[in-house]
Amino acid sequence: MTPTHAKSPLVFTSNPLDRASEMRSDANWLGAKRAEPQARFLLFWKLQPLLLGPEAEEATEFYLVDGASLQRVNDAATQEVFLGLDGESPYFAADISVLEYPIATLKTDSRYRESHFRDARAALEVLPIGQTAILGQAKALLDWHARHRFCSVCGSATISLDGGYRRECPSCKAGHFPRTDPAAIMLVIDGDRCLLARNKRFGVAHNHSALAGFVEPGESIEECVRREVFEEVGIRVGNVLYVASQPWPFPSSMMIGCFAEAISDKIQVDGSEIVSARWFEKETVKKMLAGSEIDGVRLPRPIAIAFHLIKAWVEG
């Protein structure tokens, strides 16, 4: 049996916590865990995690606080979620977006002096891999709470339950659960060539990548891959091979990475989402992966599953 997980762990995977999901609905257990002195809280302000040290730090980690420290900066009601257990330490994430100037507030407390909030994407680049996974879990959940305060069935305000893994409507009794949107990302392959495309949304960090799109209701992964590739570049796909998956909490996707075997080769870009697409020889891609910019083409960085798909193909 061949392992299907990537050999080098992807950002947002390899979560070291035991989610203890069977315990979440036990409010007494959760309350006791929260009150333990070894409980740790990861603070988020407007979806930015609190990190250790000064802002210029290039390798750092979470600034985890205990319950007493959390109490000082935030005794107002705020969203909390239970993340899991690290050995005997229960981990929680707390949203303190209600504070207007959190860093100023925090810095009046000496324990927070050496800390800063960093944009979640930027934090990816400086955190150890296991902490990126905790970041992804926490950010996806807090973002979901922030955008799901009301019942989609009847419009009433809902409440958070089960350590933040459920919301319930007191009015119509509907239950609501955190959302995860499956998206397929696929490297289209034609023998020794692969297809890389420029999406009009791509910025300066990279300008060419694999194609991608959300799985629609009533669609298998393979059907999604074939539809997206045909819609975006006019290529017909035969076999689809699953390679790896990556949570991508911007805001709540799960990227499902595949190879897509082309059975036609004439490219016709849709012009709306994809502005250009080309076939690239494996030798050229190898040089670009090693850092070269060829004809102005820059590939995605290692934080993205697209990089790993391209690498797996080049090395395969």
Question: Taking CB under 8 A as the criterion, which residues in 73-92 touch a second copy?
Answer: none
The set of long-range contacts for 31-37, using a CB threshold of 8 Å and a minimum separation of 24, is 33/82, 33/90, 34/67, 34/80, 34/90, 34/92, 35/67, 36/90, 37/66, 37/67
Q: Which stretch binds a second copy (CB under 8 A): 27-35, 53-61, 101-109, 216-224?
A: 216-224
Does residue 12 bind a second copy (CB under 8 A)?
yes
Question: Taking CB under 8 A as the criterion, which residues in 193-212 touch a second copy?
Answer: none
With the CA atoms of 104, 106, 112 and 115 taken in that order, what torsion angle do they form, in degrees rounded to the nearest 10? -50
Does residue 22 bind a second copy (CB under 8 A)?
yes
Interface pick for a second copy out of 189, 299, 303, 306 (rule CB under 8 A):
189
What is the Cα–Cα distance from 97 to 117, expressed in whole angstroms? 11
14 Cα distance to chain centroid: 13
Interface pick for a second copy out of 182, 198, 269, 284 (rule CB under 8 A):
182
- The count of residues interacting with a second copy (CB under 8 A) is 72
Does residue 217 bind a second copy (CB under 8 A)?
yes
Neighbours of 230 (CB within 10 A): 15
Interface pick for a second copy out of 99, 129, 241, 269 (rule CB under 8 A):
241
Q: Which stretch binds a second copy (CB under 8 A): 68-76, 113-121, 142-150, 195-203?
A: 142-150
Does residue 166 bind a second copy (CB under 8 A)?
no
Q: Which stretch binds a second copy (CB under 8 A): 43-51, 66-74, 170-178, 193-201?
A: 170-178
The per-residue DSSP string of 43-100 comes to EEETTEEEEES-TT-SS--B-EE-HHHHHHH--S---EEEEEEETTEEEEEEE-TT-S
Interface pick for a second copy out of 42, 96, 124, 138 (rule CB under 8 A):
138
Does residue 171 bind a second copy (CB under 8 A)?
no
Interface pick for a second copy out of 127, 151, 194, 267 (rule CB under 8 A):
151
Q: Which is nearer to a second copy, 155 or 170 (CB)?
A: 155
Least Å distance, CB 132 to a second copy, is: 9
Does residue 227 bind a second copy (CB under 8 A)?
yes
Query: With contact defined as beta carbons under 8 Å apart, do 124 and 47 qualify?
Result: no
Least Å distance, CB 305 to a second copy, is: 10
* CA angle centred on 47, ends 42 and 52, rounded to 5°: 45
Does residue 144 bind a second copy (CB under 8 A)?
yes
